[in-house]
Amino acid sequence: MNREGDESLKNRIASAGGVFAVFLVWVAASAIVGNDLLLPTPWDTAIAFFGIFTRTASLRAIGMTALRLTVAMTAAAVTGLAAGIAAGLIPAIHRFLRPIVTVFRTVPVISVVVIVLIVFGFHSTPYVITFLMVFPILFQGAADGIRRIDPELIEVYKIEDDSIAGGIRHCYLPLIAADIRTALLQAAGLGVKVLVMAEYLAQTPYSVGNALYLAKVELDFAAVFAWTALLVLMAAGIEASVRRHAGRRGADSPAPNAARAVTD
């Protein structure tokens, strides 16, 4: 336990050191450039950052972007994980969905944005783009996790409960929890970036992407840096929440009991 605590402390110190190093480089670079239009100082960026929370329009933009992200991520998680589990269990479904998922993973995001803008319009584009970009990650994570499960663990569980619903809930999901966690962590960061990019290109009203666009047009680069910092914190917060929640679920997972049953 002490060793784990020491390791965690070392990781936090290393992370803090990395952030401080970036800060020092930023201060030095802004001093060398000496032009706020090209590279604002950390002080100007901090003022712009806290100024975001004093404006009703900015708070509304943050809230609406968070809502869009929640809706798109929830839809992608439910459908992606369900389709991935089905594909892992039934090879025919995997063969059917694999070409579709491959297309979404390989087509450039900007091409998808343009097509979706034409088909769905400006208001729906952020939702659709985020869903299409995040879905393949969650699908692949669940499908690969199911296919890597040791068949002996499945046979052990079937001795006690041979129902499909019970098997998915008590056997498959706990055994692929690590794969789902990794997929969610990857999807969280990508979801924030793709959503804001779609908002920027579509100039979606009441959005962080639109706020970035307006800051660029007004040559307010301190605000651009401030919004960017906010997005980094938002993505980091989502990832930390996923790690914490997945860690608690992993601690309660019955998978270790199944593994011990096979070895015994």
Query: For the whole model, what pTM was predicted?
Result: 0.78
Question: Is 47:223 a contact under the CB 8 Å cutoff?
Answer: no
Residue 139 phi/psi, 5-degree rounding, is -60, -50
Q: What is the pLDDT of residues 34-76, one digit of tens each?
A: 777 778 888 888 899 999 999 999 999 999 999 999 999 999 9
Cα separation, 44 vs 221, whole angstroms:
10
Cα separation, 56 vs 51, whole angstroms:
11
Which secondary structure element, helix H or strand E, spans residue 114, and what is its range? helix 109-120
Which secondary structure element, helix H or strand E, spans residue 37, and what is its range? none
Helix axes 42-52 and 56-89, enclosed angle (nearest 10): 90
DSSP designation for 161: -
Q: What is the pLDDT of residues 67-112, one digit of tens each?
A: 999 999 999 999 999 999 888 888 898 889 888 888 888 888 888 8
The more confidently predicted of residues 142 and 249 is 142
Buried b (16+ CB within 10 A) or exposed e, 144-182: bbbeebeeebeebbeeeeeeeeebeebbbbbbbbebbbb
CA torsion sign for 150, 155, 161, 165 is positive
